[in-house]
Chains A and B, each alone.
Chain A
Amino acid sequence: MAEYSIFSVLRHGLTGNKGWRPTWRKAEPKPSYDVIVVGGGGHGLATAFYLAKEHGIRDVAVVERGWIGQGNVGRNTTIVRSNYLLPENHNFYEKSLKLWEGLSHALDYNVMFSQRGVLNLAHSPTQLDEYAERGNAMRLNGIDSELLMPDRIAKLCPGLDLSDKARFPVVGGLLQSRGGTARHDAVAWGFAHAADRLGVDILENCEVTGFIKERDRIDGVVTSRGTIRARKIGVAVAGNTSEVMRKAGIDRLPIESHILQAFVTEPLKPLVNCVVTFGAGHMYVSQSDKGGLVYGGNLDYYNSYAQRGNLPIVHEVAAELLAVFPNVGKVRLVRSWGGLVDMTMDGSPIITVGPLPGMYLNAGWNYGGFKATPASGWCFAHTIANDAPHELNAAFTLERFHQGRPIDEWGTGPVPRLH
């Protein structure tokens, strides 16, 4: 019987709820493991889960500086989609979307994945042409996308201002019906739970302070809970990548850390029934199951390791929300926060063997980390287990920049804050 089901709820309910086990164990570090994954975020936990499930490597430790769910996995706007233009990106994110579709069952944990659709609004005929190009590129690879005219958008999302009087009138949109949202905390807890039940040790409050080198090879980590050795060490630490890799002697990477803010309003009756993105600027909004509008927009635009942002972006993103939903003008903002994103020089991620022997790197998630969680873990586990990338992440190398082969979805060049 599944550990979490209606039957287990009934059984434990009738027996005083005394039989539940912790969702994951508080593990003690062992002296050595087959694989150590540095970083207990969504990607690190997913990597450990797929190492155990797909590759039979169960002697795995996930080493986390803080606690599970503290970082970006609990700081995003929970959007899941695969509507990218370039094949390297949309094939990878489509793999992720397919994993999302079966994730609650695979983890025995309800991640509340809701395929309510992701709608990109176009505000000029040129932009609609661009969306048609992207939608066609997706359809050529078997990914769903539909170009919509305003009459269908009005039926899909009645709360939108589709009048000619809007500051940026809507001329159409691109819909990916299979996209949607998931409960981000449940994703962290679900991967931790499933990895734990397969034997993975999750070591919280365990900060990596250094790496052990044997000749040229990375052979272990020094942590605040002692030294742990492993033949293979995967690093998946998002915005802290530059600082963690510096401890291994890598001083420069094609990554800058920036701050991305997110916002939640007070709860409302159902108003926004899909994910809507504003095309005349940069804003994305969905409505959580509790009723709050969850929205976000641009970066704060300067390098930052502070998990909080500044007021100009609060103002800018709220103004963009009102440009498409003027009816929420009196709604109060109840919370805002910042996440530390690892922006790369081309806006695409890095999942690779190296850069040092014994080491594997997963980084550069830009705006796309949450939706990538399952495929990132799946591909990273494949890369670690086989010492070679899967074809889905073969292009996401660290060398592509120096080789002149960036994967630049927006064509904005080597300026990380513009991706």
Chain B
Amino acid sequence: MLIPCPVCGLRDHGEFVYGGDATRLRPLISSDNAERWAAYVYDRRNPRGPHEEYWQHVHGCRQFMVVTRNTETHDISAVRLVGPWALRESG
């Protein structure tokens, strides 16, 4: 499987570390709703099909990115950087 890193280009997934489901929302730190904290920690949609997930290019640019990958075919339809270097001028 090859992952198109926005910084380094198309690279083998062995250079990356997987970070799991990127769609779950953490409750506010001040939230005392135990049910929602538990849902955040434990519950997953786990779809067959497009899945938004974190990867870090540890053996490359070390950037974090959200990859939209089809879990059945491994086709990657979108990649975007996240973190402090994500926002940049276009062109």
- Tell me the bound Cα distance from A404 to B34 in angstroms: 10
B88 CB-CB contact with A under 8 Å: no
B41 CB-CB contact with A under 8 Å: yes
A154 CB-CB contact with B under 8 Å: no
- A255 with B71: in contact, given A312-B13, A402-B38 (CB under 8 Å)? no
The answer to whether A242 and B45 have CB atoms under 8 Å apart is yes
Chain B residues 1 to 30 lying within 8 A of chain A, measured CB to CB, are 1, 12-14, 18, 20-21
B74 CB-CB contact with A under 8 Å: yes
- A302 with B53: in contact, given A257-B71, A312-B14, A415-B20 (CB under 8 Å)? yes
- Tell me the bound Cα distance from A350 to B71 in angstroms: 23
Closest-by-CB residue of B relative to A302 is B18
A310 CB-CB contact with B under 8 Å: yes
- Tell me the bound Cα distance from A256 to B20 in angstroms: 10
A306 CB-CB contact with B under 8 Å: yes
Question: Could you say which of A304, A345, A417 contacts B74, with CB atoms under 8 Å apart?
Answer: A304
Contacts of A255 in B (CB 8 A): 44, 46
A301 CB-CB contact with B under 8 Å: yes
The answer to whether A257 and B46 have CB atoms under 8 Å apart is yes
Interface size counted on chain A using CB atoms at 8 A: 25
B43 CB-CB contact with A under 8 Å: yes
Q: Mark B31-52, 1 if CB is under 8 A from A, else 0.
A: 0001100110111111110010
Contacts of B43 in A (CB 8 A): 252-254
The answer to whether B48 and A243 have CB atoms under 8 Å apart is yes
- Tell me the bound Cα distance from A240 to B49 in angstroms: 12
- Tell me the bound Cα distance from A258 to B55 in angstroms: 16
Question: Could you say which of B21, B46, B51 contacts A253, with CB atoms under 8 Å apart?
Answer: B46
Contacts of B21 in A (CB 8 A): 256, 303
The answer to whether B1 and A310 have CB atoms under 8 Å apart is yes
- Tell me the bound Cα distance from A417 to B69 in angstroms: 17
- Tell me the bound Cα distance from A252 to B21 in angstroms: 12
- A417 with B18: in contact, given A303-B53, A303-B71, A304-B71 (CB under 8 Å)? yes
Q: How far, in Å, is B60 (CB) from chain A's closest CB?
A: 15
Q: Mark A231-274, 1 if CB is under 8 A from B, else 0.
A: 00000000010110000000111111100000000000000000
- Tell me the bound Cα distance from A417 to B46 in angstroms: 13
A305 CB-CB contact with B under 8 Å: yes
Of the candidates A253, A256, A303, A304, the one having the most CB atoms from chain B within 10 angstroms of its own CB is: A303
The answer to whether B39 and A252 have CB atoms under 8 Å apart is yes
The answer to whether B42 and A414 have CB atoms under 8 Å apart is yes
- A305 with B14: in contact, given A242-B44, A252-B43, A257-B46 (CB under 8 Å)? no
- Tell me the bound Cα distance from A251 to B71 in angstroms: 17
Q: How far, in Å, is A258 (CB) from chain B's closest CB?
A: 10
Q: Mark B52-87, 1 if CB is under 8 A from A, else 0.
A: 010000000000000001011110000000000000
A7 CB-CB contact with B under 8 Å: no
Q: Mark A332-351, 1 if CB is under 8 A from B, else 0.
A: 00000000000001000000
Q: How far, in Å, is A113 (CB) from chain B's closest CB?
A: 33
Contacts of B13 in A (CB 8 A): 302, 310, 312
Question: Could you say which of A256, A310, A414, A415 contacts B46, with CB atoms under 8 Å apart?
Answer: A256
- Tell me the bound Cα distance from A331 to B74 in angstroms: 31
Q: A252-B43, A253-B43, A306-B73 are in contact. List 15 more A-B contacts (CB 8 A).
A: A240-B48, A242-B44, A243-B48, A253-B44, A253-B46, A254-B42, A254-B43, A255-B46, A256-B20, A256-B46, A310-B13, A401-B38, A402-B39, A415-B20, A417-B18
Nearest 4 Cβ contacts at the A-B interface: A242-B46, A252-B43, A402-B38, A401-B42
Chain B interface residues toward A at CB < 8 A: 1, 12-14, 18, 20-21, 34-35, 38-39, 41-48, 51, 53, 69, 71-74
Q: List 11 A-B contacts (CB under 8 A).
A: A240-B48, A251-B45, A252-B44, A255-B46, A256-B20, A256-B21, A304-B71, A305-B71, A310-B1, A401-B42, A402-B38
